[in-house]
Every structure is written in C-alpha cells, then in structure tokens.
Amino acid sequence: MFKNFCPQALGINGRQSELIELALTYAFRGMDIDMHDMLRRSQRSSFEEASKYLRASDIRIGTFTLAIDLDADDDAFTAGVATLHPLSEVAQQLEVDRALIRVPAATDRLPFNEFFDVQRQRISQIAEVLGARDIKLGVGFRAGKEHLEKKQFPFVSKVETFRALVDAIPNVGYLIDTWDWVVGEGAMDQLSEIPGDKIVAVRLGSIPENVDPSEATTHDRILPEMNGPLDHVKVVKHLDQGKFSGPLSPTASTMQYKGQTREFLVQSAQEAIDGICKEAGLTVAPLPMELIEDIPYEPTSMI
C-alpha cells in the first residue's frame, strides 16, 4: 500500500500544481485527482498540456472519483456512462488503474430489493466500461445521518447491506472508509474477512469521542486516530498482511478544523497516518526536509 493524498477527502481545494507541491512536501507517494476536470482541460487544449505538472512530478495517481449519480433517472445515468469512455481513456494515459463511486444511502425511486437489482446492474455496467481500460472500480457507501433524510426508502448506509451489494457484483472491489465503517455499525471482524485484493482504496477517519455514531453526520469526522471504535493500527496491519497494494488516505471534515490553514491540515493528516503506520510496524518514508537534514554539513570554502 502507499500513503495517498486525497484533497477532496480533506476538504482542500487549489490549483493542481499547488496540490502536487503539498503532496510532495509531506511525503505522500500518491495523490487523487479530479479526472473529470483533467478530461475537460485535455479537450480544451491537449492531454500533454493538461497533464504537464503530473508528468513532471514523481507522484503516482491513486484514484479518481466518478461524477455519476447512481440514483439518477435512466436517461441521466445513460448519459453519465457515455462520459466514461473518454474519461477512462485519459485515465489510462495517466496509468491510473483505480476509480471510485459511492452508492446511495437512500432513494425515492424504489423499495430496497428492486433498487438493489438496479444498483447491481448499473455498477456492473460502469465496471465493464472501466475494465476495458484495465481500471478497477471501488465501491463505497455513505453512513452520515444526513444522507437518509427526506428520502422514502433506505438503501445502503450500514456495513451489512454494503457488503451484500459489493459481494453480489463481479469485478468490483471495496472502497473502505473507516469513518463510514464505524458509523455504519461495522466492526473489525467484518473488515478482517475482506481480502486485500478485494480492496481498491482505503480512507482513514475517526469520529469525535463526544459524538454518538448513530447520530453522526459527515461533518463529525476528524483525522484518523490510532484507537477508538475501530483500531486503525489493526486495520493497517490487516491491509499489510493481506498484501493490499492500493492507496491509503487520511480524511477529515474542515468543519472540525475551522481557522486552520490547508498546510496545517495536510501536515496533521501526514503525522496522523504516519503514526498509525509506524505503530503497525510499517516503514514510513521521511519527509523531504528530513532527508536534507540527514545530510552531514560540510562547510564550503569561500574563494
């Protein structure tokens, strides 16, 4: 696995060059990008122009998130799938092999069993298009309470139903988000049953101690802590033992860090994930400045 910087998962925005600099400064080996924006910029100019900063940097693209609404009507969904062909072509040029999507927590369209079949068919269709470009689809869910509000039929907001859906779809894997896992009534033993090669991407986040998971909203997310309802050290050990080879990304809601700079948030995220990985027995890459500080100082004679 590799330490990955996902700006969206930390609520961070910025120009691509700025985000790359943040990732490299804090020794992230990978970074998620907005592939839809990359496609638009490639169409306006050229792929070479749109990707010049990425190609010039020594950073791997971890994943990209699909902007397809799985709860849309049939025509809108079909139009969304059509965009996958040029999108996956650009992704393949960038050597990206993982894409992500999240299923609806609730819907007004159909009761659970009927909607389950619709989602299975839709996700299978998306996975087939991506698979033609050797891109694997990771499926996640949303457990925040707000995603259930004002909807007639509950769908997937719990780990039990989430696993049932993903396991029913061939050729897809899991997006494991530990915050959603805890809020969605999941436990470590359920996560331990999922083999590393079935996991596409992992995001780590914790819930504040004073928040009841059953009442938690998406804003109740803090940077990953070692312990808590889900032991992140055990999670990383399981991933390592299972030979998980994908991106491991810290997450947080900016609502929990009001008044802080994005540099503070990225540094804190790096320290949190590095601490967890060290405790799990993994080797953590030093920051670029640490590498510089390790070089013995040799005074240079003035001429």
The yes-or-no verdict on residue 212 having pLDDT over 70 is yes
Phi/psi region, residue 270 (left: phi>0; alpha: psi -120 to 50; beta: rest), is alpha
CATH number of the domain encompassing residue 19: 3.20.20.150
302 pLDDT exceeds 60? Answer: no
- pLDDT at position 248 is 98
Structural domain includes residue 296: no
Contact between residue 287 and residue 295 where contact means Cβ atoms under 8 Å apart: no
In a domain, 109, yes or no: yes
Q: Is residue 187 part of a domain?
A: yes
Q: Does residue 295 sit within a domain?
A: no
Q: What is the pTM of this model?
A: 0.93
Mean pLDDT of the chain, nearest integer: 93
Quickly list DSSP for 258-293. Answer: TT--HHHHHHHHHHHHHHHHHHTT---PPPHHHHHH
- For the chain, count helices (H), then strands (E): 13, 11
**Band of the pLDDT at 138, cuts 50, 70, 90?**
very high
**Rg, the chain, Cα only:** 20
Dihedral angle of Cα 4, 66, 141, 59, to the nearest 10 degrees: 0
By three-state DSSP, how is residue 130 classified? helix
The proportion of the chain whose per-residue pLDDT surpasses 70, expressed as a percent, equals 95
Domain housing 40: 2-284
Q: Examine the pLDDT at 226 and tell me if it is beyond 60.
A: yes
13-70 tens-digit pLDDT: 999 999 999 999 999 999 999 999 999 999 999 999 999 999 899 899 999 999 999 9
First to last CA, the chain: 49
Closest listed residue to residue 134, CA positions, set 166, 102, 103, 99: 99
- Measure the CA dihedral 269/274/280/286, to 10°: 170
How many other CB atoms are found less than 10 A from the CB of residue 196? 17
Q: What is the pLDDT of residue 228?
A: 84
Question: Residue 63: its pLDDT value, please?
Answer: 98
The answer to whether residue 102 is domain-embedded is: yes
* Ranges 133-137, 191-195, 196-200, 294-298: which has the least confidence: 294-298
**For residue 21, with 0-12 CB atoms within 10 Å meaning exposed, 13-18 middle and 19 or more buried, which class applies?**
middle
Could you report the per-residue pLDDT of 230-253, keeping only the tens digit for each? 999 999 999 999 999 999 999 999
- The Cα 213–Cα 97 span in angstroms is 33
Spatial CB neighbours of 150, under 8 Å, sequence gap ≥ 6: none
pLDDT 10s digits, 76-109: 999 999 999 999 999 999 999 999 999 999 999 9
Kindly state whether residue 274 falls inside one of the protein's structural domains.
Answer: yes
Predicted local distance difference test score (pLDDT) of residue 290: 55
**158 within some domain:** yes
The total number of structural domains in the chain stands at 1
**Residue 303, pLDDT above cutoff 80:** no
**b/e for 277-297, b at 16 or more Cβ within 10 A?**
beebebeeeebeeeeeeeeee
Percent of the chain with pLDDT over 90: 91
pLDDT, tens digit, 9 for 90 and up, residues 262-298: 999 999 999 999 999 999 999 998 888 654 344 343 3
Q: In angstroms, rounded to a whole number, what is the distance separating the alpha carbons of residues 183 and 172?
A: 23
Q: Which residue has the tokens 């839809």?
A: 36
Spatial distance between the Cα atoms of 79 and 195, rounded to a whole number of angstroms: 34
Give domain status of residue 289, yes or no: no
Return phi, psi of residue 216, to 5°: -70, 140
Helix (H, G, I), strand (E, B) or coil at 257: helix
Residue 218 pLDDT more than 50?
yes
Write down the H helix ranges in 133-231.
159-167, 178-183, 188-192
